[in-house]
Structure 1
């Protein structure tokens, strides 16, 4: 076979591999019990070589999951070497330091066999509704309070379920049926990927993935290094602030662009928290790498090789380098600000390729009700649910930001009907929030207004995990800030609630959320007046804001 024909065949095989892992992810979505997976797509799926290096990831999934899962397969292999694995084996953990950052994420690794020989590994991660403990929220003072801690163990041994494991799993959760069902779903999706991989290997008469892996890694690394060499070398610094829990949190980064790598040093970042907003280092690397890659090499496939030039120096004692057993349940509240921080650095090097700051961290209220909140006075059945929602994204250099869209996590907004179908809650309002977008030549995306109650306006509770309230998203190049978020009750006084922590919504009241908007890009006075008038006509910008922010009379 000629070299040119071989390259064409490798490209075809690469495309097939993407189809394999996407079917892997879609199988999970179709079979999952948790609404977080089947409705929001809060998951990752990928294929790895026998050294634990990620070859390809599914299109469906989140950077926080897939980029930290990329590290986790190596931990599985350290405990269960590839040569000891058998067909039908499935391995699982939710260890935040060996998986994807908190106990609510289950990671499953499964070997794929062809003709009795192991040829690859499939891995996936999914966010589940409940893992026991205090529930998803920042209140824990150690990881041991945050839920059931699963070390790397076999959940299936040669196709047979580990009944002892499943006994512990069911006993440790408020939603045992959903949790057990999700584990079966994760194993099924890896099996689907393994079957498709074997079909692909048979079709191309391949005994090993190694030649294809070498092609993928060499091509991806070379392309990434080529993009890095286009950047002006130097050190660029940025800072961003989070609302924090006990006190505000400052994230600092010094990004050094060299000829063949980009190194980020987080010296100066705030220290560890006593509550669950701490970030395990793998999760820090996951979102920081994603933020860099979005700007530097967005078209290059995401795999072990293309991420390897992005290196992190995270000081010990820093909130981005939480050690065991620090609480980490809502590590996303801080971790999802990292792409904005990376873009703050890169804006100094390639300003035309960077967005303004957005709402960034998801607004995903965990809701709980029934006897576990109200005791014998409960008026609704026990429930535990979480719903994913987002504010606006930051303005882009040539386009407005996106409204109510999750960036950087990439999860879908959950339909209210799906949540109302599985829990006794009612979403009385879910609409775009006028005047929440940061003004600019291109404006930010709009946040949302949400009003949530229990059926019959019964008492229920929220475990608040919100940010961007005291520190709204900033604009760039003269663009305005996005509107700050707000959390409170729907009463006449507009009673505010804490942005983080477990709080009871009293009978007769509802939870009111005002999600932040994205920052603007450029001088608002340079915005096309026709676009301003369009937003006023659509009810997104008030006439007063049009006049005061843009100088446009409507």
Structure 2
């Protein structure tokens, strides 16, 4: 091969790689357009990707959450161990929601589908979606084991050569409060994988390719080399950090020692709190998913996410700690702890590259599952039965050169759900949803603002919330002299402002509404160094009080 032909081949491989990312993004968008659950079509709580026949992720969609994507990166190998690639047929679709083989809790369905070119299997498409209900206690921390948390689906075929597994769908419909939505979501997951498979075949035909092997070799080698080059720029050493979660029975400490070595970054979670008796435990794949994401955001953000770019990050998760939950520990709301891990990773990296990390943010989603009707109030119910989840976020941490983002989901990346979409499918009313003044941690660059939300049932009827909130007793911390963001608060709108527990099933009585005050992000740098014009802008916008401008920013 001449130098010129070698350069052309490299350019062509890059074009093919970009096309592959477009294929999986269309896969994800098909799911959003066809999904039944608002968690998918409105919030984008999903993932989509393509894998080689060894179960290694080649490319992921731009749309999706790191917890789903990076957990799913491990899950396809589990599918292949039960159903080897050579046994798969066109029209087959495989499914599970096993928290230890999928993405961490029963509310996530993962579907794997083979792709065929002229009768020969050439790759695998996988996706994950968070559905509204899988029965059991519902999405909340109250379960004492995973068996109480909902319908448990092992790795099975949901479609066999294009024919629906009716026995599977009978069990599925019988095990949920929302049978039409859940069945529709499974069909959506399969449809989006089929859309990806069709586009892949078109791509292979267009480029005259007979498979993905050569492209996979290029993707993996380029990604590995680029990631190692970024690691080589970091100062060697071991860096430590810790972060506190509100927990359930007691506060939780997450501790980490990050060692930056030759060709790898290893994280040891020794010193982390033990397992909980409630559903805030984190399966190890979910721990690895968000830890890798937090590292990658700082170390190699420009390198595409795939098997090879994740391989240099190694996690040592001690047995018996809350980040290494064994089966059958309850894990339903593993995100309230797991989504703090990127902040923990940045705490470690602050010791190595302080100019590249952010302050702590609200981190864990504030996504209250709401329930009402006879299942809460019995014969006295004033609204029809409903089960709904709405996704909302506080502020992100300040960045070294810019303020944090207001009401934005980091690290999950899901979209905030429009209140109209939720009100359209459930008898609830959002009476208030606005930015929360003085919630952003002051600093040279300030944190993002949290939100204030007031939610009620129609007619102010009785309803219930399965609280899954954090950052109430432990506010997001600032860095480098920046101040903490405001802590969260959850309670009722009565004259006394009665607080509710931050975790667990609770009833909002008739005539009352649920009040949520979401945390703000921590600030970065001395607040007295902030541009006075920016402080005045925030005061004019009603986001920073005159008292805070005078007492904190010294204006």
Q: TM-score, normalised by structure 1?
A: 0.99
Q: Distance in 1 between matches of 2:87 and 2:551?
A: 69
Deviation at 1:208, TM superposition (A): 1.1
Aligned to 1:152: 155
Q: Distance in 2 between matches of 1:227 and 1:15?
A: 22
Aligned to 2:495: 492
Aligned to 2:528: 525
The equivalent position to 1:48 in structure 2, one of 31, 48, 51, is 51
Matched, 1:453 2:456: yes
Aligned to 2:102: 99
Q: Distance in 2 between matches of 1:82 and 1:545?
A: 62
Q: Distance in 2 between matches of 1:299 and 1:472?
A: 30
Aligned to 2:248: 245
Q: Distance in 1 between matches of 2:495 and 2:530?
A: 37
Matched, 1:439 2:445: no
Per-residue CA shift, 1:105-157, capped at 9, x if unaligned?
00000000010000000000000000000000000000000000000000000
Deviation at 1:406, TM superposition (A): 0.1
Matched residue SS, 1:550: coil
Q: Distance in 2 between matches of 1:343 and 1:274?
A: 28
Aligned to 1:276: 279
The equivalent position to 2:173 in structure 1, one of 170, 173, 184, is 170
Q: Distance in 2 between matches of 1:433 and 1:165?
A: 46
Q: Distance in 1 between matches of 2:551 and 2:98?
A: 51
Per-residue CA shift, 1:174-232, capped at 9, x if unaligned?
00000000000000000000000000000111111000000000000000000000000
The equivalent position to 1:285 in structure 2, one of 285, 288, 295, is 288
Matched, 1:469 2:469: no
Deviation at 1:259, TM superposition (A): 1.6
Aligned to 2:91: 88
Matched, 1:129 2:135: no
Aligned to 2:25: 22
Per-residue CA shift, 1:288-310, capped at 9, x if unaligned?
00000000000000000000000
Q: Distance in 2 between matches of 1:453 and 1:218?
A: 53
Q: Distance in 2 between matches of 1:249 and 1:112?
A: 44
Per-residue CA shift, 1:379-424, capped at 9, x if unaligned?
0000000000000000000000000000000000000000000000
Matched, 1:483 2:486: yes
Aligned to 2:514: 511
Matched residue SS, 1:503: strand
Matched, 1:62 2:65: yes
Matched, 1:217 2:220: yes
1:67-82 matches, cutoff 5 A: 67-82=70-85
1:190-269 matches, cutoff 5 A: 190-269=193-272
Matched, 1:429 2:432: yes
Matched residue SS, 2:125: strand
Q: Distance in 2 between matches of 1:515 and 1:451?
A: 11
Deviation at 1:499, TM superposition (A): 0.1
Deviation at 1:254, TM superposition (A): 0.1
Q: Distance in 2 between matches of 1:184 and 1:448?
A: 35
Q: Distance in 2 between matches of 1:439 and 1:432?
A: 16
Deviation at 1:159, TM superposition (A): 0.1
Q: Distance in 2 between matches of 1:231 and 1:407?
A: 24
Give the RMSD, CA atoms, in angstroms: 0.4
Per-residue CA shift, 1:453-497, capped at 9, x if unaligned?
000000000000000000000000000000000000001100000
Q: Distance in 2 between matches of 1:161 and 1:251?
A: 44
Matched, 1:300 2:303: yes
Per-residue CA shift, 1:215-250, capped at 9, x if unaligned?
000000000000000000000000000000000000
Matched residue SS, 2:170: helix
Matched residue SS, 2:23: helix
Q: Distance in 1 between matches of 2:375 and 2:554?
A: 53
Aligned to 2:363: 360
The equivalent position to 1:344 in structure 2, one of 344, 347, 352, is 347
Aligned length: 552
Per-residue CA shift, 1:340-386, capped at 9, x if unaligned?
00000001100110000000000000000000000000000000000
Q: Distance in 1 between matches of 2:207 and 2:554?
A: 64
Q: Distance in 2 between matches of 1:404 and 1:54?
A: 31
Q: Distance in 2 between matches of 1:237 and 1:111?
A: 43
Aligned to 1:31: 34
Q: Distance in 2 between matches of 1:293 and 1:343?
A: 10
Q: Distance in 1 between matches of 2:462 and 2:402?
A: 43
**Stretches of 4+ aligned residues off by more than 4 angstroms:** none
Matched, 1:312 2:315: yes
Matched residue SS, 2:552: helix
Q: Distance in 1 between matches of 2:11 and 2:315?
A: 35
Aligned to 1:185: 188
Q: Distance in 1 between matches of 2:262 and 2:316?
A: 18
Deviation at 1:21, TM superposition (A): 0.2
Q: Distance in 1 between matches of 2:392 and 2:341?
A: 19
Matched, 1:391 2:373: no
Q: Distance in 2 between matches of 1:35 and 1:353?
A: 35
